[in-house]
Structure 1
């Protein structure tokens, strides 16, 4: 009877341990642009323009608002264990810069080495200026909105 119990209990315990261990594996998620090395390698400075880049890579993740026109394609792969904050495993940014005519000037690739991890100091963001209390926030604008400012004329009388 002891040999029979060993044959049944040992595999059952092993199976339970494997099932429990599989619940602790990382969950991988891709976020942002899905990088295709063939397509990103096809972007050639001096040959491509904004229309051909959009046709090849699709719409960018975001574009520059100031300075030289640049399109950014951002991609991240995260790994997360159950009930734990996700962490970035892979990160890449493809920055396609254009000249004023819309032609590609350069296509630069950067990776996770350019990522900056910020550690906030407490739960509040420090600001410049004076501290205001609750009542000052509540009643501080009374008389400020709609009042007669400098150079404005009051109501005219007939």
Structure 2
């Protein structure tokens, strides 16, 4: 009986370590993607075959992107991309397909911000200065007085 309980406890503990796979974005159908041919298709036929793009080019609407990725996550960890697809369809000025490239995770950029705080301009105040810093400042602006941020007390407009 004891070994059976130990087996159940071990199984329950290990089930928390199971990897969960999810999908985000465009679900790629290889046959439909292969059907998009440069010089043959146009915007309307690509939209009928593949649907609306995930996003269009920022500076030019002649670039359509279909992006999808598979993620794996263990318990409470951050999800990590395992597989990814990116189809880039470029149209010529007449609206016909010029190129259709099937890309993977090679073009995905991983951004890692430096530090855990965003630098800002202004005063560096600690918690207690933020909490108690406005005591005695209420009402002083309307009476000709100023604050640390506005020493003249004026509204700033002439």
Measured against the shorter chain, the TM-score band is 0.7 to 0.9
Pair 1:47-2:40 in alignment = yes
Work out which of the residue numbers 3, 8, 11 in structure 1 matches 2:4.
11
Pair 1:142-2:149 in alignment = no
Q: Normalising by the residue count of structure 1, what TM-score does the alignment of the two structures yield?
A: 0.73
Q: Indicate if the aligned counterparts of 1:68 and 1:99 stay in contact, CA closer than 8 A.
A: no
Equivalence map 1:84-123=2 (5 Å): 84-123=77-116
Once the two structures are superposed, what CA deviation does each residue of 1:42-99 show, in whole Å capped at 9, x if it has no partner?
1111111110110011000001132471110010111111211111111221000101
Residue ranges of structure 2 left out of the alignment (5+ in a row): 124-147
Cα 1:33–1:141 change in 2 (3 A) is farther
Structure 1 counterpart of 2:56: 63
| Structure 1 stretches of at least 4 aligned residues deviating more than 3 Å after TM superposition | 123-127, 131-134
The whole-number CA distance in structure 2 between the counterparts of 1:52 and 1:42 is 10
Work out which of the residue numbers 4, 8, 14 in structure 2 matches 1:21.
14
Give the CA deviation at 1:141. 7.5
Residue ranges of structure 1 left out of the alignment (5+ in a row): 1-7, 148-158
Task: Compare CA radii of gyration and give the structure with the larger one.
Answer: 1
Pair 1:36-2:22 in alignment = no
- Corresponding residue pairs, total: 132
The whole-number CA distance in structure 1 between the counterparts of 2:42 and 2:5 is 62
Q: Normalising by the residue count of structure 2, what TM-score does the alignment of the two structures yield?
A: 0.73
